[in-house]
Amino acid sequence: MVIGVLALQGAFIEHQKSLAACGVDSVQVRNPKELENIQGLIIPGGESTTMGKLMNQFDLFEPIIEKAHIGLPIFGTCAGLIMLAKKIVGSTQPRLNLMDIEVERNAFGRQVESFETDLSIPDLRNEPIRAVFIRAPYIKSVSKDVKVLAKYEDKIVLAQQDNYLAAAFHPELTKDLILHQHFLNMIR
């Protein structure tokens, strides 16, 4: 199995390290051709407006959307979650328009732009995971087809719908591999 990691900007190297720690090969994706032989795609954190611009420039929107519609599993973290959303509060910025979620960007306010917390994900494990949030979005609302996997202070921060998994935090910045493993299980 080979996982593609969108490598236009942001924390893609860290995702590749997490995948390697799971014993899985990965490739950096910067053009449509590099999407051809992957079994899953990770869209990392970064800056979603910049990422959208670069994805336009590199002609990546259409091929990713096409592959998503025929079942390519996609895991978006932080800015990657924003790219997966159908709705972004107050913004028409380019996005993949795949998950029935409404996202609020930079949602945790200036005082707490970045923080770490223990997050309980009962569907995946009894013990909580350590979650790193950096200028994070949260999911404001979901359709009934979306499974909410974790909340932080009543805000949805982890959700899954069909072949899509979205996290508002950065699982690639901690040693805990549970979310990468969960994504790999979705593929298997």
Q: Which residues bind ligand GLN (CB under 6 A)?
A: 45-48, 78-79, 82, 105-106, 134-135, 137
15, 170, 180, 182: the catalytic one is 170
For the question of residue 182 being annotated catalytic, the response is no
Closer residue to ligand GLN in complex, CB, 68/85: 85
H-helix or E-strand containing 3?
Answer: strand 2-6
Q: How many CB atoms lie within 10 A of CB 125?
A: 12
Closer residue to ligand GLN in complex, CB, 138/183: 138
56 near 94, Cβ under 8 Å? yes
Closer residue to ligand GLN in complex, CB, 20/89: 89
Amino acid at 38: I
50 near 9, Cβ under 8 Å? yes
Shortest Cβ 117–ligand GLN spacing (Å): 15
34, 172, 180, 182: the catalytic one is 172
15, 78, 104, 182: the catalytic one is 78
For the question of residue 170 being annotated catalytic, the response is yes
**CA–CA distance, 150 with 175 (Å, rounded to integer):** 19
Residue 165 three-state SS: strand
Catalytic residues, which ones?
78, 170, 172
